[in-house]
Amino acid sequence: MKTMWAPWRIEYILADKQDGCVFCKALSVQDELTLFKGRQTMVVMNKYPYINGHLLVAPVRHVSALHELDRDEMGQLLSTVEQSIGVLKKVMRPEGFNVGLNLGKVAGAGIEEHLHFHLVPRWSGDTNALAVFADVHVIPQHLKETFNNLKPHFEAITP
């Protein structure tokens, strides 16, 4: 039997589960995974990513559906998605992206009360038998190292 190490997961396993919206909390405190806080949008790293560089782009305003956004917020949200893809391309050089929006729990929304896009960089061969047969994802770089590589590029984005 082979052992796979994911030492950052113990923090989640042992931590008290908090109530409230993770995005709203990330706006109000200095969060270690928040890459960008703008006037209308924010970018945070997924704490339990599918792969390195898995980002979440959300509106600042706490809404759960697209129709709740005004036109300016909608435009800014998509602009932030585009800028985030640009940063990921520059820093991580992925070969493609999965960009998704899960609306409602049955659609896969883990945080259904606060609308957010998933940006998942992809490389040839990044999915293997572990993901297919064992529902295990191998993350080759520590989250904090990925954060440190991305953060300076997000600081250059004008809010």
Active site residues: 116
Dihedral, 98, 72, 105, 144 alpha carbons, nearest 10? 50
Please, what's the largest Cα pairwise distance for the chain?
A: 54
Give the gyration radius of the chain's Cα atoms. 16
Residue 37, phi then psi, degrees to nearest 5: -130, 110
Provide the 3-class DSSP secondary structure of residue 33. Answer: coil
Token pair 């038998």 is at which residue?
Answer: 129
The answer to whether the CB of 66 falls within 8 A of the CB of 103 is: yes
Beta-strand pair 55-59/41-45: antiparallel
Q: Which residue spans within the chain are E strands per DSSP?
A: 34-37, 41-45, 55-59, 96-101, 117-122
